[in-house]
Structure 1
Amino acid sequence: MKKRHIALAALALIGVGAGSAVIIASPTVHKGAPGEMPELGRYGEFSVGTQEFTMELPDRVTFSKAAMVTGGIEPTERALKVRMYYPAAPNGQELVSYSHTMAPPDMEPVTLDYTGRAYEGAPVVADRTAYPLVIMSHGFNGWSTQFSNLAEHIASRGYVVASIDHADMQLEGLTDFLHSFAQVLASRSLDQRQVLAQILKRNATEDSGIFDAVNPEQVAVIGYSMGGYGALATAGGDYDYESGTFGAVPAEALDPVRAAGSQDAGIDAVIAFAPWGGQSDNRVWSADTLSKITVPVLIVAGNQDDVSNYEDGISWIFNSLSGADAHMLVFREARHNIVGNDFDLPEGAPFRAMEFVKEPVWRQDRINGINQHFVAAFLDLHLKGDADKAAYLNVPTSNANEGQWDVSTGEQLNGKMAGSNETEHWRGFQRRWALGLDMLQKPAGE
């Protein structure tokens, strides 16, 4: 292999003349990530620890299937597991092992076992400043470690991440689906707000450990699908309660949501992956309610999303964010699963399981590297105030395919990523590797 590489280099030199070509004869190796990952998609400087906590959420209500027709609510105790990720100083702890069993109706259960890059129970790194907090919220019938790769990546770059397991009601049939979905409509944003409140309460009272490591003045929320539906509301975009979508939810169950929506949750930035709720047949906001969001927003979507509906739903949300500086990253030819771990499904797993976690065109690991790149840029810019990261988001051409990066004939860049000198190419991507993407940008007031 080495001899062949040198021969190719020599051929390039002979063809164009030694004075006009630059050949690097050794491959670029990027620790912690494949060489194709864009710059900020690579693991950060910190080792990562993880621990799971159970958080009690007060004053919650629920409702029965019958109450969806007749009305009425019941007080309930709600406790959710929250998986925390944070910069750590491991001292002998093992890498965390995750396991989740998918069991949709009429499908044999499929168990996903996967190892993370975080150390279970490792202590928070010492001699530190407080780290920004990121709340993560999964989609309908998802789970807290479904995006563990993204959570670990964020934490490695100097953040505390709290990934909620919303414990959506399991499904046995159509009536269970409708009941569970109605419960999610009434609970997603409340879960996010109350978990955030629990963390900030412990931050104010504890003088060591994970919760003490949080900077309460720097908070973002990340949500996928129904998590995005909740995240936009938590960030200030209260719902249009006259929407017919809420017709299956007893009016009394929406009262706590209304009350919470009138309160500032203290969110400084929001990232919504494939957010649900914008499509005209299930629209839960008006343009006026979404205009109330004034913090920066990053939306990530596939332009073939047929769940949240890219054209009629996600794009409408983006265009309605008139009060916010907004970006929308679009994976062309992608559908709904544009975030999530690159799971190895067990042999013989039903196609339905694959359809829940995989994309039909894009490789999941490639999606993840790109997501990590832009999430890091967005959070560093808007939570840490790193103005240099704006160049990664404010791309020179909205269609990545149209980026320009001139090189000499035969010049081998060998994995070099676009920096400040490559002003016509998407920052942080290798030449010829920024493809299939669009970035839409809209300042507040438009």
Structure 2
Amino acid sequence: MRRLLALAAGLAVLAASACSAPAPPRADAPQAKPPGPATLPAPTSPRPVGTTALHLTDTSRPDPWDPDVDARELKVTLWYPTKQRDGQRAPYMTAKEAELLLKGSGIATAPYNTLSKTRTNAVKDADPSGRKLPLVVLSPGFTKPMSTLTSLAEDLASRGYVVAGIDHTYESYATTLSGGRVAECLACDSDTDPGFGTGLVQGRAADVSFVLDQLTSKWKHSDLIDRKRIAMVGQSIGGASAVAAMVKDPRIRAGIDMDGTTYARIPKSGLSRPFMFLGSQEHVPGGRDNSWDRDWKLLTGWKRWLVLSDAEHQSFTDIPVVADVLGLEPLPGMLPAARGAELTRTYVAAFLNQHLKSQRQPLLDKPSARYPEAKFCPAVCAHS
């Protein structure tokens, strides 16, 4: 588990030498012009996207990481369809969040505020458009802010979903709370403790249930959400948390785990709601991580297990998209950033369209010549 958490904790997974200092240029060598700000890929649908942030406090439970705090504070970022095309684009993250993320990840190949300049596609605080739309909860990897799944969130919103991304406080290098306070990663001091992963996903499941309570009844735009069409998608420990949240909360109709080792125990009676594993070679049947093998047998409803060839742990996030401006070089043979984003968006949207919008998706029935990287497990990918 330590190896997987360490992998999730560092942007440096993109290059074996990412954390080492680059060789100084020769005095007579021309200085390379630094790249401009990173730009997230445009959403697949032309429908404009709005975004806003909510600061919520769960007074029914203490914070699991800070014993001096008797309530759980959360930041929730919402993306949704809007009619507003013009307006200020939302910031990707603040300069302080960017600094703490790069410092925590050991990245010293770019100015610490670099990621705060990343260009997004969503209009800040735009008025939502629509009614009774399906809701997708997003949960990021350990140490990562929710912003690292922005590209996926924007794409889903453009397709007609309300997306609620949760920053699980004290579980990432930086979370900006109400009033501009910045919470750092207290959980990082405990990640080698026995039972850490199990406790983490249970805490996240509680976060999700609280957020669902707030969004479906107390949020001023709650009529935007169809309470009967809710799904959860997460990356790494966020994906593992999708299993935990579904076991705990029957309101979540479907879920996706993107490359996350699972910890929550599924009851022996099984989990009958639709679920999809979407991962890297780490998660082939009989591979290094056997948690998917264990849980596959307990998924008793509609299910898929897809492995993307040449993907790595961060291929399902924005990190490969912003790697260039950080001075990180991808490993040879790794899935290109744009292709990784396309595959992630395509298969996540197909799953959600089928199970929240009742739109049958043949893409999920068999391998596709258009997307040959996607191997259907457990049979085919075990031998590919």
TM-score by length of 2: 0.72
- Give the counterpart letter for 2:154 in structure 1: E
Pair 1:185–1:379, CA change in 2 (3 A): closer
Residues of 2 paired with 1:374 and 1:348: CA distance?
28
Deviation, structure 1 residue 172? 8.6
Do the aligned residues in 1 keep the contact of 2:136 with 2:233 (CA within 8 Å)?
yes
1:364 aligns to 2:318 (yes or no): no
CA gap of 1:289–1:361, structure 2 versus 1, over 3 A, is same
Q: Partner of 1:79 in structure 2?
A: 73
What stretches of structure 2 of length at least 5 have no aligned partner? 1-39, 173-183, 380-384
Q: Distance in 2 between matches of 1:153 and 1:310?
A: 31
Contact (CA 8 Å) 2:82, 2:128: kept in 1 or not? Answer: yes
Equivalent residue letter for 1:343: V
Q: Is 1:89 the counterpart of 2:89 in the alignment?
A: no
Amino acid at match of 2:72: R
Question: What amino acid is aligned across from residue 230 of structure 1 in structure 2?
Answer: S
Q: Contact (CA 8 Å) 1:151, 1:161: kept in 2 or not?
A: yes
1:119 lines up with 2:130 in the alignment: no
Aligned partner of 2:214 among 183, 198, 206 = 198
> What's the counterpart of residue 300 of structure 1?
278
1:332 aligns with 2:333: no
Q: Which one-letter code corresponds to 2:256 in the other structure?
A: I
**Does residue 149 of the first structure (1) align with residue 132 of the second (2)?**
no
The SS at the match of 1:299 is strand
**Deviations 1:165-214 (Å, cap 9, x if unpaired)?**
112164599845447956634411111111111111226xx4xx4x3211
Residues 324 and 359 (structure 1), Cα distance of their counterparts in 2 relative to 1, 3 Å cut: farther
- The match for 2:365 is 394
Q: Displacement, 1:50?
A: 0.4
- Assess if the C-alpha contact under 8 Å between 1:85 and 1:160 holds in 2: yes
Structure 2 CA distance for partners of 1:265 and 1:197, relative to 1, 3 Å: farther
Contact 1:291–1:320 at 8 Å: present in 2 too?
no
Q: In the alignment, what sits opposite 1:376?
A: 349
Report the CA distance shift for 1:177/1:190 in structure 2 as closer, same or farther (over 3 A).
same
Change (3 A) 1:106 1:438: closer
Structure 1: gaps (5+ residues):
1-32, 35-40, 66-72, 237-260, 278-282, 401-425
**Alignment root-mean-square deviation, CA:** 3.5
- Is residue 261 of structure 2 the alignment partner of residue 276 of structure 1? yes
Post-superposition offset of 1:339:
0.8
Counterpart position of 1:49: 50
- After superposition, the Cα gap between the structure-2 partners of 1:438 and 1:105, relative to the gap in structure 1 and judged at 3 Å, is closer
Question: Deviation of residue 338 (structure 1)?
Answer: 3.1
Q: Distance in 2 between matches of 1:386 and 1:62?
A: 40
Per the alignment, residue 104 of structure 2 pairs with 104
Residues 283 and 307 in structure 2, CA contact (< 8 A), matched pair in contact too? no
Q: Distance in 1 between matches of 2:267 and 2:92?
A: 38
SS of aligned partner of 1:370 = helix
Residue of structure 1 equivalent to 2:15: none
Q: How far apart are residue 275 of structure 1 and its match?
A: 2.1
Question: Quick one: distance in 1 between partners of 2:310 and 2:81?
Answer: 36
Letter in 2 for 1:379: L
Change (3 A) 1:217 1:335: same
| Cα distance in 2, alignment partners of residues 139 and 359 from structure 1 | 24
Q: Deviations over 1:290-346 (max 9, x none)?
A: 75311101110111359x995533531452233221011211233322311143347
Residue 142 of structure 2: which of 140, 143, 163 is its match? 140
Q: How many residues align?
A: 316
For residue 289 of structure 1, report the CA deviation from its aligned partner.
2.0
- For the pair 1:343 / 2:344, whether they are aligned, the reply is no
- 2:186 and 2:324 mapped to 1: Cα distance? 23
Cα distance in 1 between the residues matched to 2:214 and 2:112: 33
Cα pair 2:146 2:165 within 8 Å, conserved:
yes
Contact 1:304–1:333 (8 Å) recurs in 2: no
Q: Is the 8 A contact 1:295 1:325 kept in 2?
A: yes
Contact 1:48 1:119 in 2 (8 A): yes
Change (3 A) 1:117 1:310: farther
Q: Secondary structure at the match of 1:139?
A: coil
Distance 1:165 1:98 in 2: 14
In structure 2, the partner of 1:316 is: 293
Q: 367, 371, 375: which is aligned to 1:438?
A: 375
Residue 366 of structure 1: SS of its match in structure 2?
A: helix
Q: Judge conservation of contact 2:275–2:304 (CA < 8 Å) in 1.
A: yes
Q: Percent identity?
A: 23
1:267: how far off?
0.9
Contact 2:141 2:234 in 1 (8 A): yes
Q: Secondary structure at the match of 2:357?
A: coil
